[in-house]
Amino acid sequence: MLGLAEYHGERIRAGARRLSFAVTHHSGLTSYNVLAERKATLPNPTGKAVIVSAHYDSVPGSPGANDDGSGTVLCLELARVLKRLPTQQAVRVCLWGSEEYGLVGARHYVKQLDEAGVGRITGCFQNDMVATSHPPAGTYWLLSVDGADNTTTAAVNAAAHRLGYTDQTKGPTARGSSDHEAFFERGIPAGNFSWRGGEAPSQLEPFYHSPEDTIAQNVSLERLQVSLELIGCALYDVARRK
């Protein structure tokens, strides 16, 4: 597999015709998912669980502050905040490895679930690029693979109404290309949540997958805060359901 950054694509489109590569071949690599579960504090006879997730890898050459360090810290902060709150369902905090190589970690996770395990998961909130400071990326998109509303997108829209953020949110809109796709493929309600340009979810910041995706250049604490509030409220809402 050979990856090209958005920046290199732009150079090629701008007329660069000679390319030279220094290639290192890595094989037999190991990747890890980091998984934690806070058990339900109220009776949970059918073992229901809701997932909040992000991928903690980044593309080679990019520090990955927004993609997806932002989603990773969102998960860690929600784990801290939700720690002592009573819930009907278990809360799983899942950090996926190797998303950028084709959703490898999340696909591995859903593959090892049996049908009963699939049925116990009430939803997966995937957080991928939840804090960019790029000014035009001021829309918080609710993305499901088929564009249909599901438990996760409905809960985030309801949270946006309660918190007064509906002027900044859009969706559900159809888009895959993150770990929610692995859950959708097994029929588990899932959504991906992220900041993008207002016209279409394909409008990403110019620092996407580049060496400039750093905390200093590509993270807005204000947008991260909104992401935390929306997902925190939506996750807790689902976790309280019998």
Residues binding Zn ion (CB under 5 A) = 67-68, 128
Rounded Cα gap, residues 36 and 220, in angstroms = 27
Rg (CA), the chain: 18
The pair of structure tokens assigned to 162 is 């309660």
Rounded Cα gap, residues 98 and 86, in angstroms = 33
CB nearer to Zn ion: give 49 or 205. 205
Q: How far is the CB of 178 from Zn ion (least distance, A)?
A: 6
Q: How far is the CB of 72 from Zn ion (least distance, A)?
A: 10
CB nearer to Zn ion: give 68 or 181. 68
CB nearer to Zn ion: give 90 or 181. 181
CB nearer to Zn ion: give 204 or 226. 204
Q: How far is the CB of 179 from Zn ion (least distance, A)?
A: 8
Residues for the chain: how many in total?
242
Q: How far is the CB of 115 from Zn ion (least distance, A)?
A: 29
Rounded Cα gap, residues 185 and 195, in angstroms = 24
- 58 phi, psi to nearest 5 deg: -140, 170
